[in-house]
Amino acid sequence: MSHLTEVLHSTHKKTDFSCGKDILDNYFIHQASQDVKRKLSACFVKIDFETGLIQGYYTLANSSIPLHLVPAELQIKLPKSYVSIPATLLGRLAIDLRYQGKGIGKLLLMDALYRSYENSNHMGSFAVVVDPLDLEAENFYLRYGFIKLPDSGKMFLAMKTLKDLF
Ligand SMILES: CC(C)(COP(=O)(O)OP(=O)(O)OC[C@H]1O[C@@H](n2cnc3c(N)ncnc32)[C@H](O)[C@@H]1OP(=O)(O)O)[C@@H](O)C(=O)NCCC(=O)NCCS
């Protein structure tokens, strides 16, 4: 399976990106490149090759989940001595307003999940975690099988599920 996205770099035209949520637009326009340089996160973009516009972006970073938040049926299979378990954080995912509602969000999510799954073959990661901005984002992730983690606002998709998917 090949990737639809490429790594964010300086020639990408970021400034006119707008997904309708200021926090995600400002992050992308003003901070994403710095975070990439500092190795705080990786950022991937999907380009419309006809116009050069950025259709959407997402970020990935290493993260962890406290063991006690992991759903009971999965927790049973994990060593009790672990206080937290490694995970991959899909920190942000946003589609430009001009391209929303055309299936690109779903494609980018699949691209992000596939990258996360590939990475888990090289560096331990038990699940993909998202931290949805609002109810709208939460509903989007619920569609794709993410489970809410108690008391954290975060959502979770086990890597085992992705293994079966891919
Ligand atoms: C949420 C977002 C990523 C969806 O991207 P999109 O390209 O518009 O979505 P798609 O066209 O790929 O939709 C895929 C499916 O999800 C559904 N969907 C889209 N947004 C949804 C939402 N907020 N809640 C529930 N379902 C949603 C679509 O109806 C579609 O369903 P279908 O496959 O049955 O037709 C996009 O609207 C966005 O960038 N929003 C602003 C930023 C944001 O909230 N990001 C969320 C993570 S922080």
Residues 34-57, mean pLDDT to the nearest whole number: 97
Strand order in the sheet with 127-130: 6-7, 42-47, 54-66, 84-95, 127-130, 155-158, 147-148
| SS3 label, residue 86 | strand
Question: 19 pLDDT band (50/70/90 cuts)?
Answer: very high
Verdict on whether the full-model pTM lies above 0.75: yes
Nearest residue CA, atom 40 of ligand 1? 94
Question: 9 pLDDT band (50/70/90 cuts)?
Answer: very high
Element housing 116 (H / E): helix 104-120
Nearest residue CA, atom 26 of ligand 1? 140
- Distance, in Å, from the CA atom of 109 to the CA atom of 145, rounded to the nearest integer, reads 12
Every domain of the chain and the residues it spans? 6-165
Q: What is the mean pLDDT of the chain?
A: 95
Residue 106 Cα to ligand 1 midpoint, Å, equals 7
pLDDT digits (tens, 9 = 90+) for 20-45: 999 999 999 999 999 999 999 999 99
Residue listed under structure tokens 């970021």: 14
Residue 118 Cα to ligand 1 midpoint, Å, equals 24
Amino acid at 30: H
CB 53 within 8 A of CB 94: no
Say if ligand 1 is within 6 A of residue 163 CB: no
The ligand 1 atom at the shortest distance from the C-alpha of residue 108 is 12
CB 144 within 8 A of CB 109: yes
CATH class of residue range 6-165: alpha beta
Q: What is the pLDDT of residue 105?
A: 98
